[in-house]
Amino acid sequence: MAEPRTPLRILAPQEAVPTIARELSRRRFLGLAAIAGGTAFLAACSPGGSGEPAPQATGGDLESSLSIYTWGDYDSPDVIDAFTGELGPTVTMDSYSSNEELIAKLIAARGTSGYDIVVPTGVFIPQMIENGLLLPLNKDLLPNLTNMDPSALGRAWDPNNEYSVCKAWGTTGFVYDRNVISRELTTWGDFFDAAQNEASGRTAMSDDPAGIIGAYFWARDMDWNTEDPAELEECRRYLVEEIAPHISAFDSYPGTNAIPQGTHALMQSWNGDARLGLMETSEPERWQWVLPGPITELWMDNWAIAEGAPNPEAAHAFINFSMTPENLLLNLDYIGYNVGGKDTEAEAVAADFPLTDMVFFDEAQLATMSEQVLNDSQTTRVAIWNEMKAAAGA
């Protein structure tokens, strides 16, 4: 067993963590959701569509059910089963592939989605709060917050964790088939080159605008949060005209099927999903995970409660239950992402969890990662994402 490394107390160098200096206008925020959802419902977004105030959690009896809208395969079944077994509520789960898809669903529902817990990426949270899509947390019902590492709390998008709590954080890279691509790939530039050559017609990218458009700028060592129209237009031209014809799928979860089944030769992937695929495949030596240079992203997904949640007591109970030390470790092992708990790296290494180097990153690796900033270019980015998908060879 490897010797435990000293756990990092930071997610990234402080200077690399952006502040949300300028918020999107309400109109632009709703616009990006409308583009993502493929329907015009801007006028429909007003909190509490039924006109009735949403129930608030006060620590009363738990409801009999709980509905969670989250990223695919993002919770250990052992944790879900234990929650129902110990506390009672039955859990149903639906999944999405992008924050835009989540936001579109919540806006269209106007507080009547039926979902209790949602799991947005941090940068989207301020505008979700402003547009009435989230309920404030009752932190008196979340005593297990004390089990979270301080570095995972108090982030720029919700400094006091009034609406959200870290669920997991990670990064984006890619996996390639060594049987198809014999050379070593190490950068995002290599990814795009291989997509146009050895892996043409057998390349998958995330079904998520952040990763797709981010990869273009990461490959060029450019600010991926740029609002420069000329830079965004060149990004659009390159992705739509030069890369899209070589793309065979947009798949946010290649670790679930594509890696084990060998469906594609080159796949953009979040680190935890790639880890899952490498653990599930019968040919682990066939596949190579890459944390590409020169730069890539750092993201954090967060527990939050949807406006109009019909089961707020159960929602708080589930979030709190997920933050026990044992459940943090179960989720970490299952999803392959750092869940933000205190001392989880040392515990994971001591437990001989596989592929921990795909879960925890050293300071040099963290220095290459930066967070997305939601700005006025987001509508353009979603439009590029949709145009690229329409032009793809899939």
The enclosing domain of 233 has a CATH number of 3.40.190.10
Condensed to tens digits (0 to 9), the pLDDT of residues 33-64 reads: 555 554 333 333 434 444 455 578 989 999 99
Mean pLDDT in residue range 356-370? 96
Question: What percent of the chain is predicted at pLDDT more than 90?
Answer: 82
At 11, the pLDDT band (50, 70, 90 cuts) reads low
- Domain-located, residue 36: yes
Q: Are residues 123 and 200 in the same domain?
A: no
- CA 111 to CA 223: how far, in whole Å? 36
Q: Residues 199, 293: one domain?
A: yes
128 belongs to a structural domain? yes
Which positions ≥6 away from 225 have C-beta within 8 Å?
A: 18, 372, 373, 375, 377
Q: What's the whole-number average pLDDT of the chain?
A: 88
Structure tokens at 92: 């149903």
Residue 17 has pLDDT above 50, yes or no: no
Examine residue 381 and state whether it is found in any structural domain, yes or no: no
Q: What average pLDDT score do residues 111-120 get?
A: 96
180 and 35 assigned to the same domain: no
Q: Could you tell me the sign of the dihedral formed by the alpha carbons of 316, 320, 322, 328, in that order? A: positive
Q: Last residue of a domain, which of 253, 279, 297?
A: 297
Please list the residues that pair with 296 across neighbouring strands.
369
393: confidence class by pLDDT, cuts 50, 70, 90: confident
> Does 126 share its domain with 253?
no
